[in-house]
Each structure stands twice: as C-alpha cells, then as structure tokens.
Amino acid sequence: MKQLVYYSGKIEFNKEGCFVSGQKVDCPQPPASRVTRAGDKLDVLPRIDSLDKRSDLVFTSIFLAVILSFGLLAIFKVKVFGKSLGEYLKPIWYFVLISVAAVFWQYLVGINLGGSSIQLRISQWVWEAIVLASAYKLSKIPNFSYRNMFFLGILYSLLIHGLKVSIRYFLYAKTLLYVLDRFLYGSLLVMAIAFVLGSVFVFLRKKGNRTTG
C-alpha cells in the first residue's frame, strides 16, 4: 500500500524538488492529470511534464518580447486593424489604470485573504467590468470594427493576465505549465467579454446607424 504523507505548510516547488518551510520533502503525487507536480490545479491544459518546470530563460524571453512589441507599436505608431496602439488606449486610459490597480491589489492585499473572500470576488468583478466598459466605450467610435474588438481582447489579456502570471512566476516560483494554464484560462474570459460582447455592441451600433440613416 502507498503511504500517505501530510505536510503542514505550503509546498514550494523548484528545479531542486519540493520544499516546506525550507526543508526538502517528497513531492506529492497528483491524483489526476490536471494537477502540476507542485499541486497547483490546472483549468485548461492537461499535465505536460516538459512544461511543468521553471525556465527563467524561456519566461524572461517571452516577457521581454511582449514589452518590446508594445514599445515598437507605440514608437512607430504601427496600425493594427487600421488603428495605432494610442488610438486603442487613449479613450480608455483610466480603465487601463484601474485594471492594473486591481491586479496589484489582488497580490498585495488579496493574497492574504481566503480563496472565497468577497473582496477577492469583487476585485475579479472589477477588471471584468473594466473590460466590458472599455469595449462599450470603444464601440461608440464610428469606425471601430469587430477586428478592433478582437485586438482589444488581446491587449487586455496581455495587460491583465500577462501581469498576473509574471507576478506568479517571478514572485511565487510557479512553473511554466501553471502560468501558461492561468494565462489561457484568464484570456478566454477576457476574449468572451471584449471580443464577443464587444462585437455585439458594434453590431448594435451599426444596426442603429442603418435604422436612423
């Protein structure tokens, strides 16, 4: 029979193994394929052992590539679906700041609260409402199209969940598999709000214009 071992405290995983309060322990064997070796639950991806590790080179390269891409878009005013990065962000800059503040609140204050805390739920609702409000505001721009809503979803996915997984990776020693799973899971929700509901706003605007015209 397999011996069950209970460890009191948070299990931390790195390339050297599993540790509790600085003491090396046996890594828990996950009961299912939707759990990382460190015991973190996966919501989208299955257990992929080749990704269930830390790699500062890989993550940092992706992190810097994203920042560099945004920098180049802003400096050279590259148009994505007919609009520059400034044209996307300028009308909703205050929403962007609120969404970033909500993310930092979750990790500076919310991290000490229980997982079912109403404050954490509210912080989740805040950035969801921010994405929806941004989509609604931009949909009022006459030449803002469905493709622009799609790119808005990408922007908020990288901004909100890119920031979240970066904090989890650099400060909480999470694996590539875990942060990728969290990014995909969060991005699906962002795209459902920004692209799907945003496209509904664009459709209603166009329908209204045809009616009044």
171, with CB counted inside 10 A (0-12, 13-18, 19+), is exposed
Percent of the chain with pLDDT over 90: 66
Buried b (16+ CB within 10 A) or exposed e, 82-107: ebebebbbeebeebbebbeebbebbe
Burial track 135-147 (b if 16+ CB lie within 10 A, e otherwise)? beebbeeeebbee
Residue 187 pLDDT greater than 60, yes or no: yes
Query: In the structure, what pLDDT confidence band is assigned to residue 153 with cuts at 50, 70 and 90?
Result: very high
Residue with tokens 């011996």, as numbered in its chain: 3
Q: Where are the domains of the chain?
A: 51-212
pLDDT at residue 127, as a whole number: 92
Q: Which residues on adjacent β-strands are paired with residue 20? A: 11, 23
- Pair of tokens at residue 68: 């560099």
Q: What is the DSSP letter of 11?
A: E
Structure confidence by residue, pLDDT tens digits, 68-91? 999 999 999 999 999 999 999 999
